[in-house]
Structures are given as structure tokens and as C-alpha cells.
Amino acid sequence: MTQGLEDYQQQTQRFLHQGGQSLVNPEDIRKYVNRARRYIAIHCQCLRVLTPISGSIISANVTSEGSGYTNPSVVITPPDYPCGLPPYPLGQQATGSASMQAGKITAVQISFGGSSYFQPQLTIADPTGLGAVVTPNMSFLNATNQGQEVYPFSSINLAAFPGIGAIYMVKSVSIIYSNYRYSLPMYSFSTYQAKIRQYPFQYQYVPTIGSQFGQGSSGSFYLYPIPSTYYQMEWDCFCMPQDLLDFQSVEVIPQPWDDLIPYYAAHIGFLEMQNQNAARGMLALFDDMVHRYSAAARPGRVTNPYGRY
């Protein structure tokens, strides 16, 4: 079971010989713990997410009320982009209902948003009415926008990943085009600037090349050709955690990496107390455990035992 703030604080206090909290403020220990969590997430690359390319219907707008409706029902198309994830790899059907006044559709309520939707269609079924138009509003999907070349890391909505704080690196980017997923070749921004993005805005098509500009959470990703329309875009991201604020905060540092947090937090604490020898000793213990855990969690693997690619 993954540990939490209380476990980290208690173990860090024991390492610092501060069970009585006489020299170190507990609030400072919380800060040490969160600094340690960020460092471990980056150093061990243990927080990794794929940005969503399908999602749920969260609401709907009636853009045309129509007329003549007597018994309207909302028809929603089946999930059109199965995510492949359990427990519903093929997605879940969304449902909704319509409100009517004087034969006109005034509102559509989404009672269940479903899952694995990319471009759902909502229609109003009724034997007498016609003309109503309903537009769905989706949960966050990572996708291109026509004419947009630059995509900041901070623009990614991470609400679907509780406890994840920020993206600090994008390892790969894949574009979904005509039911085909392909990964973009990535060039340094200097090469991208000098040799690739030759036409500032005139050339728009399906992106085939990418480049990262900037580093850390303020970084951004560039696409070329500049997108000509709305394409699904899947990022493989390394992330940092949100700070643990209290004992109910969600911990996303997975096992076994959560065992390392008190060691690095204690290292910071000893540095602040000007105990350099103890700080070096705790850092050496931390480094040794990182190497041991990494060797255990990342064993060698044969790509193909039959000798083919």
C-alpha cells in the first residue's frame, strides 16, 4: 500500500532524531517531504501518463430549438474511440434527456457521460418534431487546433490524473490520423527553427515533425506542418506530483519509490541543520537505494526471443 504524508513525516523525524519536534518545525518537514517527492519523480521517472484522446460527454448545448416536439428523446451515438482500458475497454454508452417547452427543445441534460468518445453525435428523436440541433461538450481531449503550432505543457488538463501536478518532459508524441497512430520524429529546436518551419503559417497539413522548446513545466511542444484541423494527439509524459498538504492528500508516487522519500527529506533536513556529515550519509543511503530499486524494477528484457525485430 502506498504511503502518505503522515508516514513520511514520522519516518523523516526518526531519521533526524526529532521525534519530539524540538529542533525542526513539522511544517518544514512537510516541505522537505514534498521536495523529496518532486526530486524522486524526476530522478526515477516514476510518474508517467498518456494524455487522453477520448473521453466523456459532460454537457450539451441546444444550438437550435426546433419545433413541433411532443415526446422527445435524446439519442447518443455509441462510443466511437475505444480506449482499451479496463474495466470498460470498449467504452460506455452515454445517456441523456431533453426538456421541452411549447414544442421546442430548451435543454438537454446528460445523465451519464459514458466513456471512450471522440466525436459523439446527439440527436433528438420524436415522431412529430424537427429542426433541433444539439452540440456535445466533451471532457478534456488532447488534440490539435487548426493553425496552432505551439502546445504548452501547462495547457494539458491533468484533472483525470489525481495527484499529478505538472508535466516536465514529453517523451514522445503520436498523432491519430485516419485510424492510424504514428509517432512524430523529434528534432532539436535549433534544427526545427533553421530547417523545418520554413513557412510561418501558409502550409497546413497533418503534423509529421515535432520539437520541444523550453524545459520543465514551462516547456512547450511544436508541430509541423501546422495542423490543418482537429487531430487527436497522444503525449507520453513524465510528470511531477502535486504537494501533499494534509493526511488526506492523494499520493501518486508508486511503490517501491515511496520508500525513498524520507531518506531524501532527511538529507534536506540535515543540510538545513548544518550537519553536513549526516546529510552526506543520508544522501549516500538514498543513492544506494535508488540504484537497488532501479535494478529490481527495470530488469533486462529480450525484445524478441525468436531473434526477429
pLDDT score, position 179: 84
Check: CB of residue 113 under 8 Å from CB of residue 88. no
Neighbours of 240 (CB within 10 A): 21
Q: Which residues contact 289 (CB under 8 A, 6 or more apart)?
A: 259, 260, 263
Residue 191 Ramachandran class (φ > 0 left, ψ -120 to 50 alpha, else beta): alpha
Predicted local confidence at residue 268, as pLDDT:
96
Query: What nine digits make up the cell of 69?
Result: 416536439
pLDDT tens profile 65-113? 999 999 999 999 999 999 898 999 999 999 999 999 999 999 999 999 9
pLDDT recorded at residue 18: 73
Q: Which stretches of the chain score pLDDT less than 70?
A: 1, 19-23, 309
Rounded Cα distance, 307 and 38, in Å:
40
pLDDT score, position 271: 94
> Quick one: cell of 95?
445517456
pLDDT (0 to 100) of residue 195: 94
Question: Above pLDDT 70, what percent of the chain?
Answer: 97
Amino acid sitting at position 250: V
Cell readout for 68 is 413541433
pLDDT at 21: 61
Question: What residue type is assigned to position 106 of the chain?
Answer: T
- C-alpha 209/C-alpha 225 separation (Å) is 7
- Other beta carbons within 10 angstroms of residue 88's beta carbon come to 15
Q: What is the pLDDT of residue 192?
A: 96
Tell me the pLDDT tens digit for each residue of 25-55. Answer: 888 999 999 999 999 999 999 999 999 999 9
Residue 187 phi, psi (nearest 5): -120, 155
Rounded distance between C-alpha atoms, residue 118 and residue 73, angstroms: 22
Please report the DSSP string for 127-144 in residue order.
SS-EEEEEEEEESP--B-
Question: H/E/C letters for each residue in 84-121?
Answer: CCCCCCCCECCEEEEEEECCEEEEEEEEECCECECCCC
Residue 259: what pLDDT? 95
In this predicted structure, what is the pLDDT of residue 307?
80
Q: Which amino acid is at 247?
A: F
State phi, psi for 226 to the nearest 5 degrees: -60, 135
> CB of 242 within 8 A of CB of 163?
yes
d(CA 110, CA 76): 10
